[in-house]
Structure 1
Amino acid sequence: MPKIHETAFVAENAIIIGDVEIGPHASIWYGCVIRGDVNAIRIGAETNIQDGSVVHATHDRNGDYRQTGGGVPTLIGEGVTVGHMALLHACEVQSRAFIGMRSVVMDRAVVESGAMVAAGAVVTPGKRVPGGELWSGTPAAFMRSLRPEEVDMIPYLRDNYLQLAASYQDSGSSEGS
């Protein structure tokens, strides 16, 4: 069963199943699917997963991942912004990273802290997106170093979604968790 912190906001039509842990003040928005049925999914504090996004992992072909440690979980750090309709699959998104709208981060890829994946980008399996860089395209590749205003945007978006989630919780717009 999912473990959702009592301060997290979960929209009433989000679907969360399986071995999922969601940290304090995280927000899971409308139409999201977070499916921890074949491996673990961990979502850190103050992270926002925006509308229509899908988060999944990979199973262990040799047995139950809880006993063997196999397969690949999806790990999302603290203060991460995941844009609308993104797909995160068996990957790691470190704290304070940014994942653009309709982007894809595939198996065993790592998006480092302070990195930015552009809207529509596809981060292919095993790629590593270094902090301080913007990656874009299909397949995603280094575009340029982040500008100061883009670096500043990451905590701004986190704070904006913290306030937005709090307003939804205060108004009773969601069942919450």
Structure 2
Amino acid sequence: MQFAHLGAEPRIHPDAVVAPSAVISGDVVIGPDCQILHGAVITAEGGALTLGSHVIVMENALIRSTATNPVHIGDHVLIGPLASVSGATIEDEVFLATGTRVFNGAHIGARSDVRIGAIVHLRTTLPPETVVPIGWVAVGAPLRILPAERHEEIEAAQRELDFPGYVFGLDRQTPDLMVQLTERYGRSLARHADDRPVG
């Protein structure tokens, strides 16, 4: 199903195939020969979202742009089931396996492989042809690729990347952080009340 959001409607190339249960919302461009499978959600939340050619978005994957972080996905990219991409750039010929997570401001270089359940964290850049192993975390600048059991190192890099500040504009030390975050983000998401189906 397609929705107009914030005055923008999806633009889907006539050669693309979008499953009837997929949701495409807002300023989304889907290029030629893309395949968007059942349950996928592709939503432009204030920033542009572009898929190149021959992109496959598998079942129940989520791709979301934001006002500060648009999404660009290059050509010949496969995004696996239950994967999510938020506000990131994905270059050509990238494989994002089942359950991967790519966060705001990340940049994944061409021909990279992010394996099952792996994470590319906030503002992290993977050079071309990088492999992130199953369940590992790519984080920080300089880039570190770490197994989940090295949580202390991942946590230290995450603090430097400042997720609440970068994504929500809130200081991590705010006493009522979650109150402010949910109220502010909720007001932003309430803009969907004016969405309308198209097509």
Question: Fold match, TM over 0.5?
Answer: yes
Structure 1 portions without partners, runs of 5+ = 60-70, 144-176
- Letter of the structure 1 residue corresponding to residue 71 of structure 2: T
Number of matched pairs: 133
DSSP 3-state at the match of 2:49 = strand
| Partner Cα separation in structure 1 for residue 61 and residue 10 of structure 2 | 17
- Letter of the structure 2 residue corresponding to residue 81 of structure 1: L
| Partner Cα separation in structure 2 for residue 11 and residue 58 of structure 1 | 24
| Partner Cα separation in structure 2 for residue 103 and residue 77 of structure 1 | 17
Match of 1:21 among 29, 43, 55: 29
Match of 1:139 among 137, 155, 177: 137
Q: CA deviation at 1:38?
A: 1.7
Q: TM-score, normalised by structure 2?
A: 0.64
Alignment of 1:1-177 (within 5 A): 1-59=9-67, 71-136=68-133, 137-140=135-138, 141-142=144-145
Q: CA deviation at 1:122?
A: 1.1
| Partner Cα separation in structure 1 for residue 91 and residue 108 of structure 2 | 6
Identity %: 28
- Letter of the structure 1 residue corresponding to residue 104 of structure 2: D
Structure 2 portions without partners, runs of 5+ = 1-8, 139-143, 147-198
Q: Which structure has the bigger radius of gyration?
A: 2
Q: CA deviation at 1:132?
A: 1.9
Q: CA deviation at 1:91?
A: 0.2
| Partner Cα separation in structure 2 for residue 74 and residue 49 of structure 1 | 14
- Letter of the structure 1 residue corresponding to residue 115 of structure 2: A
- Letter of the structure 2 residue corresponding to residue 102 of structure 1: G
Structure 1 stretches of at least 4 aligned residues deviating more than 4 Å after TM superposition = none
Asked if the contact 1:48/1:82 (under 8 Å) is kept, the reply is: yes
| Partner Cα separation in structure 2 for residue 119 and residue 129 of structure 1 | 16
| Partner Cα separation in structure 2 for residue 56 and residue 27 of structure 1 | 17
Q: CA deviation at 1:133?
A: 2.1
- Letter of the structure 2 residue corresponding to residue 2 of structure 1: P
DSSP 3-state at the match of 1:96 = coil
- Letter of the structure 1 residue corresponding to residue 91 of structure 2: Q
Q: CA deviation at 1:58?
A: 1.7
| Partner Cα separation in structure 2 for residue 101 and residue 125 of structure 1 | 19
DSSP 3-state at the match of 1:55 = strand
- Letter of the structure 1 residue corresponding to residue 92 of structure 2: S
RMSD value, Cα:
1.5
Per-residue CA deviations over 1:137-164 (Å, capped at 9, x if unaligned) read 3423548xxxxxxxxxxxxxxxxxxxxx
